Amino acid sequence: MRFFLSAVLASSAAAHQMVTSISVSGNSFGDGTCVRVPLNTDPLLSLTDKSIVCNVGGDKAVGRTCDVDAGQEITFVWRTWPDGSRNDPISDSHKGPCAVYMKKVGSFNDAVEGDGWFKIWHEGYENGMFCTERLRNNGGIMSVRVPQDLTAGGYLIRAETLALHQAVSTQPPQNIGGSQWYVTCVQLHVHSTGGEARPPTVSIPGYTTPDHPGVHYDIWGHKLSLPYRIPGPEPYVPTSAGGGPRRGPVNPPKSCPVSNANWCSRPVPGFSDEAGCYRSSGDCWAQADTCYREAPATGNKGCKEWEKICEGYNAHCAKCGAERNCNGGFNRKRARARGLSSVGEEKL
Ligand SMILES: [Cu+2]
């Protein structure tokens, strides 16, 4: 019995989702990069709680912001397994609409909740399918165009899916308020030349209510009540040409040759003797610790990559120590011959 219960719990845990990465013009910025990665894939159930804005913990800024041009296409990747260890974009039981909102910020430390949000895209029920069903068929890929007339600056972009499988239940209190929200926010820097958009905005929380006909909606009846009404405002339609330079994504930043989600490696200090070499290796390992500690639900692939560089330092220190040849710094060619990454080497 016990085994059976845990199997049921495991399968329901697997049935949730989050955004794990973004791409611009087909180039991915990497797992978790610029993403305020949620703690887990659990749904949000309250439309009044602050967590409905950017998920639990999503009110805090992350260290990286991704570049995009006004008018460019941005793609969100949705996953059920945040680290991609299993390939399941989104559960087929999670039927409902999708939406994407943006909010201009002066700083990424600005409050996420409150006014300032405008919707740039949504999809409800079309051609016999809910948006989430199409998203599942599409491998979890959700693409939207950043309005071409946006003014330049920092923006939060918020992707949302709504799962309606428990939205209407005969069991109080779920007869209303059983809808499951999945949201993830991403930090963007929008480049634009002379955009003048003034989209009408809404407040989150406050943009919709549990009794909205598209939120308190029965997907289990003999016949769906159509047309389906998507919660929230209408999407903003660009009114002027505006537009940005076509620069494409900056990935990765030059200052950040090895990264994991929003963690960036920094140069390891140079050295001129064996002790210095081990100090540099120690610095490398300390950075690796930070990387693993900060690794979000999307995983720690980049930390493993960095760890290999640290191992390379250790091997180098042992060898140059034995050869009494650590002074005079670090020979690039020799380092490469010894299999030391050019990334770590570059910084010496
Ligand atoms: Cu779920």
Q: What's the angle, vertex CA 335, arms to CA 331 and CA 339, rounded to 5?
A: 175
Q: What is the pLDDT of residues 25-47, one digit of tens each?
A: 889 999 999 999 999 999 999 99
What is the 292 CA–ligand 1 centroid distance (Å)?
A: 27
Output the six-digit token pair for 196.
């003048």
pLDDT for the residue numbered 346: 36
What is the 12 CA–ligand 1 centroid distance (Å)?
A: 6
- How far is residue 47's CA from residue 153's CA, in Å, rounded to a whole number? 28
Q: Is the pLDDT of residue 82 over 70?
A: yes
Residue with the two structure tokens 């995009």: 68
What is the 133 CA–ligand 1 centroid distance (Å)?
A: 14
What is the 214 CA–ligand 1 centroid distance (Å)?
A: 18
pLDDT for the residue numbered 243: 59
Torsion of CA 285, 288, 290, 296, to 10 degrees: -170
Asked if residue 228 lies in contact with residue 127, where contact means CB atoms within 8 angstroms, the answer is no
pLDDT for the residue numbered 7: 41
What is the 194 CA–ligand 1 centroid distance (Å)?
A: 42
What is the 118 CA–ligand 1 centroid distance (Å)?
A: 26
Q: Looking at per-residue confidence, does 44 or 194 come out higher? A: 44
What is the 45 CA–ligand 1 centroid distance (Å)?
A: 11
Q: Is the pLDDT of residue 155 over 60?
A: yes
Output the six-digit token pair for 106.
């002066």
What is the 94 CA–ligand 1 centroid distance (Å)?
A: 7
Q: Is the pLDDT of residue 5 over 70?
A: no
Asked if residue 231 lies in contact with residue 210, where contact means CB atoms within 8 angstroms, the answer is no
Q: Looking at per-residue confidence, does 221 or 288 come out higher? A: 288
Phi, psi of 310 (to 5 degrees): -65, -40
What is the 88 CA–ligand 1 centroid distance (Å)?
A: 12
pLDDT for the residue numbered 329: 46
What is the 112 CA–ligand 1 centroid distance (Å)?
A: 24
pLDDT for the residue numbered 258: 92
**Would you place residue 194 in the very low, low, confident or very high pLDDT band (cuts 50, 70, 90)?**
confident
pTM of the model as a whole: 0.88
What is the 125 CA–ligand 1 centroid distance (Å)?
A: 19
Number of C-beta neighbours around residue 138 at 10 A: 13
Q: Work out the average pLDDT over 283-298.
A: 97
Phi, psi of 343 (to 5 degrees): -70, -50
Q: Is the pLDDT of residue 178 over 90?
A: no
Q: What is the pLDDT of residues 200-250, one digit of tens each?
A: 999 999 999 999 999 999 999 889 999 999 999 999 999 877 655 656 565
Q: Looking at per-residue confidence, does 187 or 194 come out higher? A: 187
Q: What is the mean pLDDT of the chain?
A: 87
Nearest alpha carbon to residue 151 among 98, 195, 119, 208: 195
- Say which amino acid occupies 89: P
What is the 55 CA–ligand 1 centroid distance (Å)?
A: 15
What is the 239 CA–ligand 1 centroid distance (Å)?
A: 37
Q: What is the pLDDT of residues 251-285, one digit of tens each?
A: 556 667 799 999 999 889 888 899 999 999 999 99
Q: Most confidently modeled of 88-97, 222-231, 338-347?
A: 222-231
Structural domains in the chain, CATH included, are: 16-204 (2.70.50.70), 259-346 (no CATH)
Peptide bond into 205 cis (omega under 30): yes
User: Which residues face 68 on adjacent strands?
Assistant: 190
What is the 166 CA–ligand 1 centroid distance (Å)?
A: 10
What is the 149 CA–ligand 1 centroid distance (Å)?
A: 36
What is the 157 CA–ligand 1 centroid distance (Å)?
A: 22
pLDDT for the residue numbered 257: 77
- How far is residue 35's CA from residue 15's CA, in Å, rounded to a whole number? 21
What is the 144 CA–ligand 1 centroid distance (Å)?
A: 24
Q: Is the pLDDT of residue 168 over 90?
A: no
Helix axes 274-294, 301-322, angle to 10 degrees: 170
- How far is residue 78's CA from residue 90's CA, in Å, rounded to a whole number? 7
What is the 187 CA–ligand 1 centroid distance (Å)?
A: 25
Q: Looking at per-residue confidence, does 125 or 239 come out higher? A: 125
Asked if residue 50 lies in contact with residue 113, where contact means CB atoms within 8 angstroms, the answer is yes
What is the 128 CA–ligand 1 centroid distance (Å)?
A: 22
DSSP codes of every residue in 213-266 = TTTS--SSSSS--SSPPPSS-PPP---S-----------S-TT-SSEETTEE--
